[in-house]
Amino acid sequence: MTEPRLVEVRQKVLKQNDLLARSLRHRFRAAGVYVVSLVSSPGSGKTTFLRQTLMELKSGRRVAAIVGDLATDNDAARLARAGVPIRQITTGTVCHLDATMVERALDSWALNELDYLFIENVGNLVCPSSYDLGEDLRLVLMSVTEGEDKPLKYPTIFNTADVAVITKMDLAGPAEFDLVAARYNIQSVRPGMRIFEVSAKTGSGMSEWFQFLQAALAIAVSQ
């Protein structure tokens, strides 16, 4: 008897989140800021990838980031070394960010003074998939050490993302990573999905990603 009730409560929470995410999306659009979120399992390389992205963009663009974790502000401290505004959300026991947390983190931030805002989600391949954050672009990262089958095992997160990033390509050889199989698995879950293959350590593949970001902003502001 309790199961239908649980489902009902969950649907209500998700509906409320969707409504707030929609209003955040309007707010971001009105401010002219392009918002990118990053999801992946723990340790896939979100913070490292994001730090390199912030370092690249900061000379010509106004950038900032929000980073979510269950505990610690380690990632915020790492990202702050890029010399751009960073805010940490500590979720406690919650395994994802939601639109309310993002709205709270935006408090008193002048969004119209930003070109890009990045949101690093809590490391988890399941929970974040149900929660729209009002972002323009959602990246799902998977590293070469996790195995090529992750898109098949966690299809929902790949389905709710716009772009896939295969990270730690410098380790592809030692990890015996099968890139063809990984691409095939991503495409079988999400046909046509754009895939970047990068190493934030060596910088390989990063310039394609930076070009994509610049083009995405240009398209967004022209609409």
Ligand X SMILES: Nc1nc2c(ncn2[C@@H]2O[C@H](COP(=O)(O)OP(=O)(O)OP(=O)(O)O)[C@@H](O)[C@H]2O)c(=O)[nH]1
Question: Which residues are near Mg ion by CB under 5 A?
Answer: 46-47, 75
Span 5-64, contacts to ligand X by CB under 6 A: 40, 42-48
Six-digit token string for 71 = 């505990």
Q: Which of 28, 222, 35 minimizes the C-alpha distance to 111? A: 28
Q: Which is nearer to ligand X, 117 or 169 (CB)?
A: 169
Least distance CB 108 / ligand X (angstroms): 25
**CA–CA separation, 81 vs 75, rounded Å?**
10
Least distance CB 200 / ligand X (angstroms): 4
Q: How many residues bind ligand X (CB under 6 A)?
A: 17
**CA–CA separation, 69 vs 122, rounded Å?**
5
Least distance CB 75 / Mg ion (angstroms): 4
> Mind spelling out the 3-state secondary structure of the chain?
CHHHHHHHHHHHHHHHHHHHHHHHHHHHHHHCCEEEEEECCCCCCHHHHHHHHHHHHCCCCCEEEEEEECCCCHHHHHHHCCCCCEEEEECCCCCCCCHHHHHHHCCCCCHHHCCEEEEECCCCCCHHHHCCCCCCEEEEEEECCCCCCHHHHCHHHHHCCCEEEEECHHHCCCCCCCHHHHHHHHHHHCCCCEEEECCCCCCCCHHHHHHHHHHHHHHHHHC
Q: Which is nearer to Mg ion, 133 or 189 (CB)?
A: 133
Span 193-222, contacts to ligand X by CB under 6 A: 199-201
Q: Which of 56, 75, 115, 148 binds ligand X (CB under 6 A)?
A: 75
Q: Which is nearer to Mg ion, 46 or 87 (CB)?
A: 46
Least distance CB 67 / Mg ion (angstroms): 7
Contact between 166 and 175 (Cβ < 8 Å): no
Least distance CB 193 / ligand X (angstroms): 20
Say which entry of Mg ion, ligand X, none residue 129 contacts (CB below 5 to 8 A, set by partner kind): none
Say which entry of Mg ion, ligand X, none residue 40 contacts (CB below 5 to 8 A, set by partner kind): ligand X
Q: Which is nearer to ligand X, 74 or 211 (CB)?
A: 74
Say which entry of Mg ion, ligand X, none residue 45 contacts (CB below 5 to 8 A, set by partner kind): ligand X
Span 149-168, contacts to ligand X by CB under 6 A: 167-168
Q: Which is nearer to Mg ion, 74 or 211 (CB)?
A: 74
Which residues contact ligand X by CB under 6 A?
40, 42-48, 75, 123, 167-168, 170-171, 199-201
